[in-house]
Amino acid sequence: MRYWLMKSEPDAYSIDDLERDGTEHWDGIRNYQARNLMRDEMEIGDRVLFYHSNAKPPGVVGIAEIASGPYPDHTQFDPEQQYFDPKSDPENPRWIMVDVSFVEKLPRLVSLHELKEHPQLAGMVLLNRSRLSVQPVTSDQFAFIVDLARGAVS
DNA sequence: GCCAACGTTGGC
DNA sequence: GCCAACGTTGGC
Domain of residue A74, CATH code: 3.10.590.10
Which residues surround strand B, with CB < 7 Å?
A 31-33, 87, 128-129, 131-132
Total domains present in chain A: 1
Residue A131 falls inside a structural domain: yes
Pairing relationship of beta strands A71-72 and A96-97 according to DSSP bridges: antiparallel
pLDDT of residue A111: 96
Residue A110 falls inside a structural domain: yes
- Nucleotide B8 C1' to residue A148 CA (A): 37
Decide: A64 and A18 in contact? Cβ < 8 Å.
yes
Residue A130 has pLDDT above 80, yes or no: no
C-alpha–C-alpha distance, residues A77 and A89, integer Å: 9
Residue closest to C9, CA→C1'? A131
Cα distances from A34 to residues A7, A29, A67, A68, in angstroms, run: 11, 7, 17, 16
Residue A109 falls inside a structural domain: yes
List all nucleotides in chain B with at least one atom under 7 A from a protein Cβ. 5-9
- Nucleotide B11 C1' to residue A86 CA (A): 21
Residue A154 falls inside a structural domain: no
C-alpha–C-alpha distance, residues A55 and A152, integer Å: 25
Residue A61 has pLDDT above 90, yes or no: yes
Residue A14 falls inside a structural domain: yes
- For residue A108, report the phi and psi dihedrals to the nearest 5 degrees: -155, 160
| Structure confidence by residue, pLDDT tens digits, A69-116 | 999 999 998 888 888 888 888 888 999 999 999 999 999 999 999 999
Residue closest to B6, CA→C1'? A131
Strands (E), A13-126: 23-25, 47-52, 59-66, 71-72, 96-97, 99-111
Domain range enclosing A45? 3-149
Question: Considering the entire predicted model, what is its pTM?
Answer: 0.93
Residue A104 falls inside a structural domain: yes
Residue closest to C11, CA→C1'? A54
Decide: A29 and A71 in contact? Cβ < 8 Å.
no
Decide: A5 and A126 in contact? Cβ < 8 Å.
yes
